[in-house]
Structures are given as C-alpha cells and as structure tokens.
Amino acid sequence: MDYTIKIYFLILLMVPCCTLTFVCPILEFEKISLFEKTNGELKLIKPVEYAYLIITIVIAAINVFACLCCCYFKYGALDLKNVFSTITWLILPATYTYITAKEMGDIPFSCPSDYPYTSTIIKDACQIRSANLVCMWLYFINLILLILVACSIRSKGTNHSHKSSEASEAS
C-alpha cells in the first residue's frame, strides 16, 4: 500500500478512535446512573463498573495529553503512555464483557421493544449497556487497525529515513 494512502487511512481511523475515547466513559457513567435507579432490579458490579469508568477517563486524559503535547515533546517521550493505553484497551473489552455478561438477567442484548420490561428505566439501562459494549468493542477493533497501520507507517518511515541517511553517506 502506498505511504500516502496509509497516512490517509491512519487519519481516517483516528476520527472514530478519538470520538470513542470520549463516548465510552460517557456511556459508562450513564449506565451506572441508570442501573442505580433500578433499585437493585439490575445488579451493578460496582468495583468493575467504577474501575472501567476510571480507566476510560484516564485513557481519555492520556490521549488528550498526548495530542496536545505531541508538538512539544518527542514521540518517544509519549511511548510509555501510549503503551499503557493500548495494552489496557487490548485487555479491557474481553475482561469487562466476561464479568458483566449476566448483569441484565434474561433480557436479550438487543433490547427488543416487545420485551416485557418492568419499567422504562430498565429498557433505557439495557439500551445504554448495549451501546456501551458495542462502542467498547468498536474502539477495540479500531485500535487494532490503528496500531497495524501506524506500525506499517512507522516501519516505512524508519526504512525511508535509513535509506536517506545511507544515500547521503554514500555521496
């Protein structure tokens, strides 16, 4: 794939990645709020939910910091923060999904409109939970694609600059 096309693809992937960085904690906050309004009908695993909320907020803060400071710092100085963010998002979706799989009881994941919900709060909680999981997994998939494209560009850039330095040394 051409280097320029990879750059465009990277930029294209960054838009949903940045959007989902902020959407995920907002949906999680809403989920916690709605689950607490059900008076125990829906079981919230508070340590897991609050840990997920904190992690998503920290990752959003790291990403904002990285974007704002990339002009002032060398890329290598931000590598540790990017590694933490990436590793966390590679582990988080599977763990979170596994732990929270039964929290809606018998209500289907798709939250069908013909399901006999006991209240509109339960239906809203179901929809927010589904949206939260979908966005989390979309972020995960987007991050994998972003990493692959970024690594491809980085290796191409390294090879290109290595060839340039060899050419200048030869002359």
- pLDDT digits 0-9 by tens, 128-143: 999 999 999 998 888 8
Q: DSSP string of 126-145? A: HHHHHHHHHHHHHHHHHHHH
**Of 30 and 166, which is predicted with more confidence?**
30
Q: What's this model's pTM, rounded to 2 decimal places?
A: 0.78
- pLDDT digits 0-9 by tens, 54-101: 988 988 887 777 666 654 445 444 455 566 667 777 788 889 999 999
% of residues, the chain, pLDDT over 70 = 77
Looking at residue 88, its pLDDT comes to 75
* Domains of the chain, residue spans: 3-161
Looking at residue 84, its pLDDT comes to 67
- CA-CA-CA-CA torsion sign (129, 130, 136, 139): negative
Looking at residue 171, its pLDDT comes to 46
C-beta separation of 128 from 30 below 8 A: yes
